[in-house]
Structure 1
Amino acid sequence: MSACIYTCLLQLIAGIIYPLRQTYQAYKLQEKLQIWIVYWILMSSIYLLEEISFGVLFMIPGYSILKTFYAVWLYHEKTQGALLIGTLLKPVFNKIKVIMAPIQEKLDILEKVK
């Protein structure tokens, strides 16, 4: 088997399967849910960027390994990178919330009409 298959398998386990299991456990127990929500927002952004880049990112040597380390850094108990980035992005999220408020009000009105 080539190194690419092992890298993809490691990335699948470390970046999706383990976080998915932990998210389910946090949801079930209602603890540490914030870190997993931010994790999925950040990783979804990475996956979206990969789709938009049409594979250019995968031409960067070591990109898959770096992405795997980034995923582990986001959720690891000692680093909790997702909480750090979530704190840094909080003003951005607040601006988005302000922008989306009028749209949400209109959607609520439409929902009441139904």
Structure 2
Amino acid sequence: MSVVKINALEIPPQAGDEIVKRFTARMTSLADVAGFEGFELLRPTGETETRWFVYTRWSDQASYEAWRDGDGARASHAQSSTEQGDEDGPAESPRKPVSMGATLLEFEVEVSAAASGI
């Protein structure tokens, strides 16, 4: 069965738009990774929860580890801290991390259901 990795990020309230911008910019980098099944960035809505959750689903642990230990993860995380340069000019200076801390939660999917037609 699939495995799920949830990165719980401590994001200051004023940095929400920036974290969305950064993840949106790099979402396509996962689309063609072997074993990758899905991604969601979850914004907290309750008054007591301040963490954002980065949810990824993988076909198996080996696929996740291959991505994590390969060039894909390094490139993805480098892009979040530095904008890529292009024909219009060089890359921006490295940006400060938005997150004040992170915890990786790891799960194996035991039971799963989807809505009809998905």
Query: If each structure's helix is expressed as a fraction of its own residues, which one has the higher value?
Result: 1
Query: If each structure's strand is expressed as a fraction of its own residues, which one has the higher value?
Result: 2
Question: Which TM-score band applies after superposition, normalised by the shorter structure?
Answer: 0.3 to 0.5
- Greater relative CO, 1 or 2 (CA 8 Å, sep 6+): 2
TM-score, normalised via structure 1 length: 0.34
